[in-house]
Amino acid sequence: MFKGPAEAAGFCAALRTRLEPLLGRADVAVCPPFVSLAAAVEALDGSGIRVHAQNVHWAASGAFTGEVAAQMLVELGVDGVVVGHSERRQYFGETDETAARRAAAALEAGLVVIACVGELEAEREAGRTEEVLRRQVSALAAVAGPHERLVLAYEPVWAIGTGRTATPELAQEAHSVIRTVLDRPVLYGGSVKPDNALDLLSRPGVDGALVGGASLEVDSFAAICEAAARSTS
C-alpha cells in the first residue's frame, strides 16, 4: 500500500527511462495499488514494462464491496495480477481455495497470474515446508493446471520484510518441490535486494524475483532488474 497515482506515475516514468536498455533481456512488471493502476498503465504504455494488480476477485460482478473483477482490470489495460500473497493470507483471511479461485478467474479473463505460496517460520521449524508447499500448489493445479500465463512465486513468510533471506540453496530446494506439483516458472520473494539478487537469480530453478520493499525506490528496483538481465546472459 504505497504510491498514489501521482507518485506512481513519476516512479513509472523514471523506471521506464532507467530500464530501457535492458528490456527484452528481462521481463519486468510493477504492481501498484488499485487507485494507481491507471496512472501506471498510462506512464508505461508501449514500454514493455507490464502492470499487474495486487489482487482480483473470482466473480465477474456482484455484491462484493471492496473487490475488483478481472474484466475490470482488463478494461483498464492491466496485464496481470498477484494472488495469494502472504499478507492477504495473514491479514485478510485468504486461503488456498480462495487464492486458487482468484487465479482461475484471472486466467480465464486473459490476465497473467503470479500466484504466491510459502511457509510460515513455525512450519519450517516443524519440518513441514514441503507439505505446505505441496498443499498450496496443488490447490492452484486443481483449477489452472500448467497454464501458460501462470507464474508461481515462492515467498517464505519468515523472510518477508524481516531482512532475512532464504539461502540460494533453500530457495532452489523449495522451487524444486513446487515444480514437482506444477511445472511452471517460479519466482523467489523474500527480502530480495540489489546485493543478493544476482546470486539468487543465477541459481538453476530460480526464474525471477517477486520484489517487496526494494521495489519502492527506482534505483534499487532497477538494480535488481539489471541483475535479472545479467543472470540470463
Which residues are marked as active site?
85, 155
Instruction: Give ∠ CA 38-41-45 in degrees, rounded to 5.
Output: 145
Q: What is the DSSP letter of 60?
A: S
- What three-state secondary structure class fits 70? helix
Q: What is the DSSP letter of 215?
A: G
Q: 136-139: long-range contacts at Cβ-Cβ below 8 A with a sequence spacing of 24 or more?
A: 136/84, 136/96, 136/99, 137/178, 137/181, 137/182, 138/181, 139/96, 139/97, 139/99, 139/100
Q: Give the orientation angle of helix 194-201 with respect to helix 168-181, to 10 degrees.
A: 50
* Main-chain phi, psi angles of 2, to 5 degrees: -135, 150
